[in-house]
Amino acid sequence: MIEVYLIYAVLLIIYVACIYDGIADAAYEYKLFYKKVLVRTAISQAYPQLTYSPGRGISAKEFRRAGIFANSDFISEDEIKGEWDGVKFSLSEAIRIKKNYDLGIDNTYVKLASLAMSLYDAYMDFSGSVLICEFGKRFYAKTILASRELNTKILGEKELMDNVIFNSEFRVFADDKVEARYLLTPALMERLNELKRYYHKFSISAAFMDNKFYLFLNGAPNRFETELFSIPPTTGTAYAHQYELAEILELVSELGHITGELESKI
């Protein structure tokens, strides 16, 4: 089935070039086709219970509830949603919108200032993937695990956990210290340490709020993208998408097991 759609993808390159005057329109239509056909097929074949919506994603209001990152503008897309091992979840991308600081002034100092502001925003603004898991149990307080990088929450009373490596990677802010220690079990802290090692190029932060768990992968690549004249997708491309999703679903399963054990304690 995937091979059939790959043929369609190649034919579409020729098709869109013929019917569209502007190359930008052709590129947009090809990207849309790629997501709606190839990516959606790859996901539905491996996980038919999940839904993929290329034009949907986390809202700005939902993103900002955790209060970990600065309020910046982003494009939300590529939502994968469903239920896995009894846990309702959604995974989507929040890709930062780059600001233009070019003032059109031919002055070295002005250009350097513009570059500095651009680099500052690139560091401070979130751009990556967000996982939200919803549980049947409501947490009494908010527990935030902020990456120790300077672009995350740094103010507030911090809690030290009984894991040296975990403390070196995360700052823990807890409204209820007792609940935080129930939530951050040795198994979960070790799992987050493993995630940090696996995603060593990304900044990882998380939060427990209400009945949800948020995981922020800052710096995660903009997945499911292609270009009009790039190398046509292959079956390997589809399998890569399935593998990436499998990694996330393992985390969802583990969170479900952990929170299930916690329901009798909190």
What's at 45, amino acid-wise? Q
Predicted local distance difference test score (pLDDT) of residue 242:
77
> What's 153's DSSP letter?
-
CA distance 224 to 35: 7
CA distance 204 to 216: 6
Predicted local distance difference test score (pLDDT) of residue 19:
56
CA atoms within 13 A on the CB side of 59: 3
Locate 24 and state its tokens: 């930008």
Locate 188 and state its tokens: 């979960």
* Residue 50 C-alpha from the chain's centroid: 17
Q: Which residue has the tokens 């030290």?
A: 160
Predicted local distance difference test score (pLDDT) of residue 48:
92
Locate 42 and state its tokens: 């790859």
Predicted local distance difference test score (pLDDT) of residue 216:
93
Locate 71 and state its tokens: 């309020």
CA distance 192 to 132: 15
Q: What is the pLDDT of residues 59-78, one digit of tens each?
A: 999 998 888 887 778 889 99
Predicted local distance difference test score (pLDDT) of residue 114:
57
Cα separation of the two ends of the chain: 47
In order along its 266 residues, the chain shows pLDDT tens digits of: 555 555 555 555 555 555 555 566 666 777 777 788 888 888 888 899 999 999 899 999 999 888 888 777 888 999 999 999 888 999 999 887 665 555 566 666 455 555 555 554 555 678 889 999 998 888 888 999 998 886 677 777 788 888 999 999 999 999 988 888 888 888 888 888 888 887 777 889 999 999 999 999 998 888 777 666 666 566 666 677 777 788 788 878 877 776 666 555 55
Predicted local distance difference test score (pLDDT) of residue 115:
53
List 92's β-bridge partners, or say none.
130
Locate 52 and state its tokens: 């993929």
pTM given for the model: 0.79
CA distance 69 to 96: 12
Distances (CA, A) of 171 to 63, 154, 167, 237: 19, 8, 7, 37
Give the domain ranges of the chain: 50-262
Predicted local distance difference test score (pLDDT) of residue 227:
66
Predicted local distance difference test score (pLDDT) of residue 79:
94
Predicted local distance difference test score (pLDDT) of residue 133:
92
Predicted local distance difference test score (pLDDT) of residue 118:
53
CA distance 140 to 179: 8
By the 10 Å C-beta count (0-12 exposed, 13-18 middle, 19+ buried), 247 is classed as exposed
Predicted local distance difference test score (pLDDT) of residue 93:
92
The secondary structure element, H or E, covering residue 114 is helix 108-124
